[in-house]
Amino acid sequence: MIAHIRGQLLYKIPNYVVVDCGGVGYELWISVTTFTELGEVGSEVRLHVHTHVREDALQLFGFYEVTEKLLFEKLLTISGIGPKLAITVLSGITADRLVAAIRGGDHGTLTKIPGIGKKTAERVVLELKDKMEGLAGAVPVSGSATPSLGATAEDVLSALVNLGYPRPIAQKAVESAAKDSAVSADFEKLFRAAMAAVR
């Protein structure tokens, strides 16, 4: 069971990284929040890891903050939520807002996340409401610099396509969201605005 990785960042795109540990490259699926916290390719990274084992696959999911990993693992306990949807949830809303929505029984906020319908939102609140102790406020807001608008928009488009959205629809959503200068240069803000627009 792999629980933590430290190594050199070989490759990164939204949702996916490769980390070199002692000459072995590990591929890990990540959330948008973790992506925004990572340094440049070539830098050293440390990620908390959830190892997901199935009959036909072994997948690693990486998290910059241990709180995000804990939320991911709690989401996996909900019927109908697999690892891909759990990562999508953590990409569509900040950890603090997710914890607040679950604690407050805010089904409306939860159903705005792609892949979460009314019944799933109800199950999430019912099963996790009393299991959020100690999780709120533990994930810091990224203070890293953001790339230019063009690069930011391309990264957001790549993230949406990797999450399963058709490229033409994703591109329209990104272009629409990028019209707002308040979010256009910030990856995380633009990504969430585009996700809202793609629905």
Find the radius of gyration of the CA atoms of the chain.
16
4-63: what fold?
A: OB fold (Dihydrolipoamide Acetyltransferase, E2P) (2.40.50)
**How far apart are the C-alpha atoms of 67 and 135, rounded to whole Å?**
6
All structural domains of the chain with their residue ranges: 4-63, 66-131, 149-198
**pLDDT tens-digit map of 109-158:** 888 887 788 898 888 888 888 887 666 533 333 333 333 336 788 788 77
Query: Residue 138 forms beta bridges with which residues?
Result: none
**How far apart are the C-alpha atoms of 61 and 119, rounded to whole Å?**
26
163 pLDDT above the threshold of 60: yes
**pLDDT tens-digit map of 70-104:** 899 999 998 888 998 899 888 888 788 888 888 88
**How far apart are the C-alpha atoms of 67 and 195, rounded to whole Å?**
23
Phi-psi region of 159 (alpha: psi -120 to 50; beta: other; left: phi over 0): alpha
Any idea what DSSP says for residue 177?
H
66-131: what fold?
A: DNA polymerase; domain 1 (1.10.150)
**How far apart are the C-alpha atoms of 41 and 181, rounded to whole Å?**
28
